[in-house]
Amino acid sequence: MAEVVLKEVVKHYGAHIAVNHVSLTVGDGEFVALVGPSGCGKTTTLNLVAGLIPMSGGEIHIADRLVNDLDPKDRDIAMVFQNYALYPNKSVYKNLAFPLQMRKLAKPDIDAKVKEAARVLDITHLLERRPRELSGGQQQRVALGRALVRDPAVFLMDEPLSNLDAKLRVQMRSELKRFHQDLHTTVIYVTHDQLEAVTMADKMAVMSGGFLQQYDAPDMVFAKPVNTFVAGFIGSPAMSLVPVQVVRKGDAVWLRSVDGWEFELSAENGHKALSATSDKVVLGARHSTLRIHKSAEPGTVPGRVYIVEPTGDVTFAQVKLGASIIIVSLDPHFPIAPDEPVFVEFNQNKLHLFDGETQMALAAA
């Protein structure tokens, strides 16, 4: 078990900066999910921790050791990749035993470690089979087992479930979580599946364009996104974001859209809005915090239903407020049709305000 510390880590590819001054501490035994859109630098960050590619700058410490100049094999890590090539002609047992044989462990020690890993991963009954005689999920567990037998200080996993079908993914997700609960090993887990991150991780590191945008517990990232990028990335469907103008009317503070609709802010939100660097702010609202009315109530803004998307448990309606589209979740029985005029109510306690210039969340004074 070990803490992993990244300090101002940088990776250039020519003029392109794939990882830009990322600082991050993964606590001993913590499960951290690295998330972000394609190309944001997740795999590069993981490869830097593993030592598979040279760094352009910064420091990486694993278990209180500066590992910048250490080979991957000396870093006490095990990696599990998306493509978990198993040895096709070796049995599961031999696949698991191989890394230990390479390290010249005694036969009884190897046997004990293989059996323990097989027990944890529930593949004891598969030890004599070959990889092609296994399902995708079973193969994935063998790949994990191969990392597990090495008993590393840190597990690094790069989208290890992305090859699996939807049902297996969910199953393996639970098993990975269980595995972490049992072993308390430090894990850095790259995924672009938010649900995987939210359900498994103690903390989420959200990256974009090589920068670390936010690093916090999943519920905090969800409840208090630090900027419009995180707000628009986390959550499914993501938070609706609408650029608006802050307008003072006597003591009151209103938000006004270029499309003409406006509504008054609560005192607290008014303070937040006035702390912006200009009169431009971005209004953010999650689908579950919006309400649809069929007639104009005080505080509502007029819109028109654009698309209705039933998903079974919940129906999502995309509503056009002028040029902007916001997403509202509804009871599946709520009567609503495309092109219908509706009135949208923002929950003042749940709305988010971001600075229109810096895109950073505005906090209460």
Ligand X SMILES: Nc1ncnc2c1ncn2[C@@H]1O[C@H](COP(=O)(O)OP(=O)(O)OP(=O)(O)O)[C@@H](O)[C@H]1O
Contacting residues toward Mg ion, per CB under 5 A:
43
The partner in contact with residue 167, picked from Mg ion, ligand X, none with C-beta cut-offs of 5 to 8 angstroms by kind, is none
CA gap 55, 7 in Å, rounded = 12
Q: What H or E segment, with its residue span, contains residue 19?
A: strand 16-26
- Residue 295 · residue 302 · CB < 8 Å: no
What, of Mg ion, ligand X, none, does residue 41 touch, CB below 5 to 8 Å by kind? ligand X
The one of ligand X, Mg ion, none whose footprint includes residue 205, by CB under 5 to 8 A per kind, is none
Comparison of 54 and 237: residue with beta carbon closer to ligand X: 54
What residue 40 binds from ligand X, Mg ion, none (CB within 5 to 8 A, per partner kind)? ligand X
Q: Which of residues 205 and 231 has its CB atom nearest to ligand X in the complex?
A: 205
Residues that bind ligand X (CB under 6 A): 13, 16, 18, 36, 38-44, 192
Residues in a beta bridge with 308: 317
Q: Minimum distance from CB of 41 to ligand X (Å)?
A: 4
Q: How far is the CB of 37 from Mg ion (least distance, A)?
A: 11
259's CB contacts (< 8 A; 6+ apart) are 321, 322, 323, 324
Q: Is 204 helix (H, G, I), strand (E, B) or coil?
A: strand
Does residue 48 contact residue 55 with C-beta atoms inside 8 Å? yes
Joined tokens for residue 352 = 């988010």
Nearest residue (beta carbon) to Mg ion = 43
Residue with tokens 């887990």: 189
Question: Residue 237 half-sphere exposure, CB side, CA atoms within 13 Å?
Answer: 22
Closest approach of ligand X to the CB of residue 256, in Å: 38
Minimal distance, residue 43 CB to ligand X, in Å: 3
26 vs 265 by CB, closer to ligand X: 26
Peptide bond into 237 cis (omega under 30): yes
Smaller CB separation from ligand X, 39 or 338: 39
Question: Which does residue 156 bind out of Mg ion, ligand X, none, counting CB within 5 to 8 angstroms by kind?
Answer: none
